[in-house]
Structure 1
Amino acid sequence: QKALLLGIGSVSSGIVQPILAWFSDRYDSRVPSIIGLLVAVLGVSFIGSASSFAQLVMIQVVATAGIGAYHPGAAATAGQLARRRSLGISIFFLAGMAGGVCGNSLSPLLVDHFAGRPVDLVRGLHSLRWLIIPGLVCVAILTWAIRSVPHRAHDSHARHVAMDASERRARWRGLGVVYLGNIIRFTVNMALVSLFIDWADGHVLSREGVTEMTSALSVHSSKLNGILQGSMQVGMGAFGIMLGVMLSHRTERRAMIVVPFLGAGAIMLVPLIGLGSAWGPTMAVGCAILAGAGFGGVIPISISMAQRLVPHHATLATGIVLGGGWVVAASGPALAGIGVAHVGLGTTFVLSGIALSFSGIVSWWLPREILDD
């Protein structure tokens, strides 16, 4: 069930992104982003209202579809407004990671506070409805902020017409390479979400000297897992903004090749951390931060590259490398579950690190001449 929830969220978010991105480019509309954020706010806030697993799946589908609808247009707008496209998208990305960290860290605390003692998880989950208030404020701010911003540069169509057929093919091939790299990054990301949940459960059980989870232990594990998930997002956001500030468009290709190996090494170190170690959570947080840097730090660059490669379809390019990648990444939790069942948690972490390194290898085939121009 855990793998299904994580996976179906990626599919739902990923499928709507290219479709609504095409709509946004075709009609130069910001409506999908605004409606998407509204739907996401309502969906996430009513998770506690689910009385069955089927209802929870439905809420997950609706909420993540809203998240998917929001991102392509918003990311394209961020790139369009910035003087340096990669830096603008990195700032947008950092804001998203900050939200993710807050959500992962604060929502378990909110649920725990309202769950009371003895623990009543249903009552605690109902408290998520309070998130509607700040969510609606954000929808209003977004509507005001992007009401008159076009999604693409005014000369993008003219530049496209001026390209010869061979350059157009090279640019679309380059977009395919970016897409393939993001498939790998996102799949590893989703696998690690599942693996760190298992690691948090294992640590809590090991420290308590028991073999079965109780409601109280589940809350404790949820808090630790929230910190680990948030740590990955810290790495993604911090490294993303650092690369956005430091790199020029001529050096971004090299970062796409090298940075994934940093994350791969950190992921492969996790099995060396003892589940019962008192310092285990601290070391796991460090590995999670570096892992996030490795698979997520270059995502803003990948979005910027996609928009530069296909400037006349900037929103669609964003939807492809984001949403298209997330559709395939839905397999990440299931692959992680299969790995844990057959070769164990530690070996699955190692295999995930090896997989991430391939995202750097495939980036070698990015078109240097076009991207350096």
Structure 2
Amino acid sequence: MVLPRSRLFWSVSIGHLVIDIFNASVAVQLTFISGHILSLTNTQIGLAISLYQLVSALSQPFAGWLADRTGGRSLGAGGVALTVGMQALALLLAATTHNYTLMVVPLVLAAVGNGTYHPVGTMHASSNPATRSSDLSIFFMMGQLGGGLGPAITGMLLDRFSSANAVFTQALGGFEARLVEHGSIAPILVMALFALPSILYMLVSMPNRDLFRQQNGAVAKGTMRRPLGLTPLLMLGAMVAMRGLVNPGMVAFLPRLFQSRGWSPAEYGLVTSSFWFAGAFVGLIAGQLAVRFGDRLVIGVTLLISAPAVFLLGSAADASAYLLAIVAGAFSSASHPLIVAMTQRLLPGGRGLASGVGLGAIFGMGALGTLVIGALSDSVGIETAFRIIAVVTVFNGLLALRLPGIAPTEPPPAVPDESREVVPKAA
């Protein structure tokens, strides 16, 4: 197994872990707020998460374009800082003002930070053409691990300290009474401080603008291996759009689904974490399978496998929910790195712009999916909404199998690289 030894690679990968801990916690935070602080409908929760995802999606192509020209040090480290800081402010405003609009405004600003970080991190993680696929798999695995840790940690903290608020709030002055009255979000405010080391690590590891330009000369041009016609391009767009319903759209409502069944924040946080954890490791395997069998087959089959688990998850009320969340998360997440890598192969221009467009499409369709699911849940019920998502996922898997094959870009001949180490296989 070959592991990167580049400090730059690990700084953006650890940053990915940290920022996705907070990204994946938004649904748990809003569900907790709805039950303890400010009553919210499914549509309101869906709208808040949808705005978060949509703003993140729209900011990514522009951030990627800037990263191709500047190296993105301020965009990357600043993006993590903005996301964590604005999320903390959104929680504080919800707890102190009980105003939905005042809570959503900083939440949307947090999404801008998320959108500026991701294309920068992806660009630097894929800088070695000879090992791009494996490096991206590790990079996205770190993000998925963050997505798995975030809801579990957030749920346990909110559950553990919601009845012991004085421990965390006695030093907050005028905010103390507001936080104690309905439940405490103070542990999450303290948790935000743990993002500081990763922000500093990125600042000292990433090149400044001048050094980046010296190292890269000019903006690297991507390779258009096989231009897609209009029909295949529309098929690809439709596939990404329908995938947005199940991932990341559906996962935003896992906490709400199990809160409605009387589960605690720790319990519905753990279900959400199970979904993301499973996707972290299957993404590594999917990348290797795609090299052998092709992107479209792996994307199509994994989506088809995830559909029954999504269908049953809507009615699960016992420990089987954890197993179903693992299956749904593992196989609906498998296509994520494949779609990003496919976009990098198809689009001309720098890796930052290509990454921003690919990730922006995924998050943008997820935002629309979240909005649709929220409205659907209020009209026909959240369990029925999950069943509809499962049926759509079956059609999406079949559509993915009809996508045109896209040949991967041939890497240059391998050269010795002292920035990597070879870990010997166990005997």
TM-score by length of 1: 0.81
* Residue 201 of structure 2 is aligned to residue 141 of structure 1: yes
Distance 1:364 1:54, change over 3 A: same
Q: Which amino acid aligns with 1:355?
A: V
Separation in structure 1 between the aligned mates of residue 134 and residue 254 of structure 2, nearest angstrom: 30
Name the structure 2 match of 1:264: 307
* Residue 343 of structure 2 is aligned to residue 306 of structure 1: yes
Name the structure 1 match of 2:326: 289
* Residue 129 of structure 2 is aligned to residue 129 of structure 1: no
Contact 2:60 2:115 survives alignment (8 Å): yes
Separation in structure 2 between the aligned mates of residue 2 and residue 171 of structure 1, nearest angstrom: 38
Separation in structure 1 between the aligned mates of residue 123 and residue 380 of structure 2, nearest angstrom: 41
User: Residue 360 of structure 1: CA displacement?
Assistant: 2.8
Separation in structure 2 between the aligned mates of residue 257 and residue 267 of structure 1, nearest angstrom: 16
Give the alignment of 1:292-371 within 5 angstroms: 292-310=329-347, 312-368=349-405, 370-371=407-408
User: Residue 24 of structure 1: CA displacement?
Assistant: 1.6
Q: Tell me, which stretches of 5 or more residues in structure 2 are unaligned?
A: 1-43, 166-178, 411-427
Contact 1:48 1:122 survives alignment (8 Å): no
Distance 1:146 1:366, change over 3 A: farther
Name the structure 2 match of 1:229: 272
Contact 1:249 1:372 survives alignment (8 Å): no
Q: Which shows bigger deviation, 264-273 or 15-24?
A: 264-273
* Residue 149 of structure 2 is aligned to residue 102 of structure 1: yes
Q: Which shows bigger deviation, 171-180 or 289-298?
A: 171-180
Separation in structure 1 between the aligned mates of residue 399 and residue 55 of structure 2, nearest angstrom: 27
Higher helix share: 1
Contact 1:42 1:63 survives alignment (8 Å): yes
Name the structure 1 match of 2:54: 11
* Residue 124 of structure 2 is aligned to residue 59 of structure 1: no
Name the structure 2 match of 1:192: 250
Name the structure 1 match of 2:241: 183
Contact 1:86 1:244 survives alignment (8 Å): yes
User: Residue 104 of structure 1: CA displacement?
Assistant: 0.5
Distance 1:46 1:270, change over 3 A: same
TM-score by length of 2: 0.72
Name the structure 2 match of 1:217: none
Q: Which amino acid aligns with 2:180?
A: D
Q: Tell me, which stretches of 5 or more residues in structure 1 are unaligned?
A: 205-219
Q: Which amino acid aligns with 2:365?
A: V
Name the structure 1 match of 2:259: 201
| SS state at 2:384 partner | helix
| SS state at 2:349 partner | helix
Q: Which amino acid aligns with 1:185?
A: R
Q: Which amino acid aligns with 2:283?
A: G
Separation in structure 2 between the aligned mates of residue 176 and residue 27 of structure 1, nearest angstrom: 33
Name the structure 2 match of 1:120: 180
Name the structure 1 match of 2:176: none
Name the structure 1 match of 2:81: 38
| SS state at 1:80 partner | coil
Distance 1:362 1:28, change over 3 A: farther
Matched residue count: 347
User: Residue 39 of structure 1: CA displacement?
Assistant: 0.5
Distance 1:91 1:123, change over 3 A: same
User: Residue 99 of structure 1: CA displacement?
Assistant: 1.3
User: Residue 352 of structure 1: CA displacement?
Assistant: 0.5
Separation in structure 2 between the aligned mates of residue 253 and residue 154 of structure 1, nearest angstrom: 35
Q: Which shows bigger deviation, 192-201 or 116-125?
A: 116-125
Partner deviation per Cα, 1:72-126 (whole Å, 9 max, x = no partner)? 1101211224743222112111111111222111112223333335893766212
Name the structure 2 match of 1:210: none
Q: Which shows bigger deviation, 348-357 or 61-70?
A: 348-357
Contact 1:46 1:128 survives alignment (8 Å): no
Q: Which amino acid aligns with 2:184?
A: G
Q: Which amino acid aligns with 1:16?
A: S
C-alpha RMSD of matched pairs (Å):
3.1
- 44, 58, 75: which one pairs with 2:122? 75
Separation in structure 1 between the aligned mates of residue 272 and residue 129 of structure 2, nearest angstrom: 29
Partner deviation per Cα, 1:2-49 (whole Å, 9 max, x = no partner)? 112111111121111111112222444343222111111212233331
